[in-house]
Structure 1
Amino acid sequence: MPASLCGTWDIISNTNFEGYMVALGISPNLRKIALKLKQKKVIELKGEQYIIKTTSSFRNYTTRFNVGQEFEEFTKGLDNRRLKSLVTWKGNKLVCEQTGEKNNRGWAHWIEDDKLHLDLYCDGEVCSQVFKKKGCE
């Protein structure tokens, strides 16, 4: 069984976030704001449903899903698109494949060296983020 992703996580590195946002079609003004934000993730597992909250001082985004069940997702406050998303375990990674207007879009979360890693990808651009667990859970 993969390591638990649950907890509260503060971002400590964010590589190629701008390239990823350009691939999503985010406006230059919003990109400037987003690049200055310090994101936090809160990941919970309630029954079989994962809840992932991404928060900052500017915008918050929450997604809820059951692993292995396709769901409709509206990326309100991000790039405001309607997608079909499917999250599965691939080895120790929780991987989401998203279909919609953009090609090769999705993300992967995993734990390595007591840190939460997140790769966000879209149209050949990959943003790699690393988070450190906040306090004791």
Structure 2
Amino acid sequence: MPANLCGTWDIISNVNLEGYMVALGISPQLRKIALKLKLKKVIEQQGDEYIIKTTSTFRNYTVSFRMGQEFEEFTRGLDNRNVKSLVTWEGNKMVCEQIGEKKNRGWAHWIEDDKLHLSCFMLDLCNNTFLK
């Protein structure tokens, strides 16, 4: 049975977030702001739909999806790209593959040591940790 990732999580660390943003083509000014933000993740499940909210004082982003169903996603406020996303369980990891102009792109969430982890992949460039 997959892990329950639901809850509210505060960021406590990130590794190579700037490198990930550079690879996405995000401007230096926006990268500077993003690196200073204290992010919060809220993960909810309503029936078979998941809702993930990433919030900060600067900008918020919400994505909702059903496991195993491909959906169109516009990464508004992030890198502003249209992608086709598919979220599945790989063991206890919630993994999203995003198909678009950037290759091998996506993310994974999992819990380890009572912390929510987020790995943004596009050549394995970024890892974040959140505390509930």
TM-score, normalization by structure 1: 0.95
What does residue 74 of structure 1 align with?
Answer: 74
Deviation at 1:3, TM superposition (A): 2.0
Deviation at 1:56, TM superposition (A): 0.5
1:50-129 alignment runs, 5 A limit: 50-122=50-122, 124-129=123-128
CA RMSD, aligned part only? 0.7
1:81-109 deviation per Cα after TM superposition (whole angstroms, max 9, x unaligned): 00000000001100000000101100000
**Amino-acid identity (%):** 76
Deviation at 1:58, TM superposition (A): 0.4
- Runs (4+) of structure 1 exceeding 2 A deviation are none
Partner letter of residue 128 of structure 2?
Q
What SS does structure 1 have at the residue aligned with 2:125?
A: strand
What SS does structure 2 have at the residue aligned with 1:8?
A: strand
**Any unmatched runs of 5+ in structure 2?**
none
Write the distance in 2 (CA, Å) between the matches of 1:81 and 1:121: 16
Write the distance in 2 (CA, Å) between the matches of 1:87 and 1:28: 30
Partner letter of residue 83 of structure 1?
V
Write the distance in 2 (CA, Å) between the matches of 1:126 and 1:51: 24
What does residue 2 of structure 2 align with?
Answer: 2
What SS does structure 2 have at the residue aligned with 1:119?
A: strand
Count of aligned pairs = 132
Write the distance in 2 (CA, Å) between the matches of 1:125 and 1:79: 17
Write the distance in 2 (CA, Å) between the matches of 1:8 and 1:126: 24
What SS does structure 2 have at the residue aligned with 1:20?
A: helix
What SS does structure 2 have at the residue aligned with 1:31?
A: helix
